[in-house]
Amino acid sequence: MSPIPKPLFFFFFLNYVSLSTSLSLHLPLTSLPISTTTNSHRFTTSLLSRKNPSPSSPPYNFRSRFKYSMALIISLPIGTPPQAQQMVLDTGSQLSWIQCHRKKLPPKPKTSFDPSLSSSFSTLPCSHPLCKPRIPDFTLPTSCDSNRLCHYSYFYADGTFAEGNLVKEKITFSNTEITPPLILGCATESSDDRGILGMNRGRLSFVSQAKISKFSYCIPPKSNRPGFTPTGSFYLGDNPNSHGFKYVSLLTFPESQRMPNLDPLAYTVPMIGIRFGLKKLNISGSVFRPDAGGSGQTMVDSGSEFTHLVDAAYDKVRAEIMTRVGRRLKKGYVYGGTADMCFDGNVAMIPRLIGDLVFVFTRGVEILVPKERVLVNVGGGIHCVGIGRSSMLGAASNIIGNVHQQNLWVEFDVTNRRVGFAKADCSRVV
């Protein structure tokens, strides 16, 4: 997959089921461009050699670090005995799926999951409720294959796709910490060599099935140093750093309010404005909230690289950039089909002219992007403001991408329906 901005994984929705059981984990992530190969050997010999693990009750406890470049990649030990699987950590989608081994077709990457090696693997038959078409809470297209197994097809906004069978499998976090069987996709056809870890508020997300009450991550700044990948942290459950978090309440939507352009399972936050330095742009707060048709919601999405804004907000941001550095824009250049505020050559002065970028929320909560990180190096000597136009994706939402979540703790408190933020040096935190 080409390295393009990825506000991708929020197009298929499932009903939200509130969670009350606590789970506490600190998991290993590898955050890299989707096209980059990573080493999956992340688990101890004792973990990989387990033969018959049995499910344990939350809370679980596991600690590690992750790496970050463009997309967050988590390495999870799946099956019995565990097989390490690379998965994109995505707060914008629900279905989790893994790359599965194909017996009769050309082999997939060596890291693909081999169901025949796992004693805890099982498939979902066509008679399973999830395999019945058009049930209200599952818009995933399913069908019955020639083996009478439940087959699914999943498509994302950037053209990524995956299809295979719906299955059940365990995830092992340590010798004594194992989930019960979770419903996953077992992809035998896909356009990427990694899976997806769906983390939204839907009932079949990893968060819901594993009964996770909260999770948080701290993404370090990207590095332009060749061969160096910065590291950060990801927690499931209580975060020992949470004493400094500032929270905003999630906007939630009952069944009666479901609208055609709304993703009711996204982590929708109450953004009210955008500033450059001390100058607040003249954008109505209503632009950042769902209108009668659901357009305009603002979501926090770890599966998106760039932030994307609806036209009414993007036009004001672009006008301000033009006022400050318009003559230096690279004319006719659009990164990823959505971002046209880009520059080439020597850009040392441009961040100083643009200033700090601030996303403003209710309760005095802000995400401040310092001027040094307003531009994103997209390669080829080109740097872009890390904001794209949502309409160019065919989306009607504002999306806070991971490039604007750097050097922040971001906590998704699912039980209390809130999101917390706190400044941090994410290259150093544990």
Runs of H (alpha helix) within 68-205: none
- Classify residue 426 by its DSSP letter: T
Cα dihedral 378, 283, 392, 139 in deg (nearest 10): 110
Residues 111 and 82 sit within 8 Å (Cβ to Cβ): no
Catalytic, out of 158, 192, 263, 301: 301
90 is catalytic: yes
- Stated length of the chain: 430
DSSP for 343-398, written as a single string: EES--TTHHHHH--EEEEEGGG-EEEE-GGGSEEEEETTEEEESEEEGGGGT--SE
Spatial CA neighbour of 402 closest among 299, 320, 329: 299
Residue 301 annotated in active site:
yes
The active-site residue, picked from 90, 263, 340, 413, is: 90
> Cα Rg for the chain, rounded, in angstroms?
21
The number of beta carbons lying within 10 Å of the beta carbon of residue 47 is 17
Among candidate residues 248, 170, 154, 159, the one with its CA nearest the CA of residue 210: 170
Tokens at residue 205, please? 């997300």
The span from the CA of 400 to the CA of 402, in Å, is 7
CA distances from residue 163 to 93, 100, 175, 246, 375 in whole angstroms, order as listed:
15, 10, 31, 40, 36
What is the Cα–Cα distance from 420 to 409, expressed in whole angstroms?
8
Q: Do residues 399 and 299 touch, judged by C-beta distance below 8 A?
A: yes
In sequence order, what are the residues at sequence separation of 6 or more whose Cβ sits closer than 8 angstroms to the Cβ of residue 298? 268, 269, 270, 271, 288, 289, 397, 398, 399, 400
Q: Mind telling me the catalytic residues?
A: 90, 301
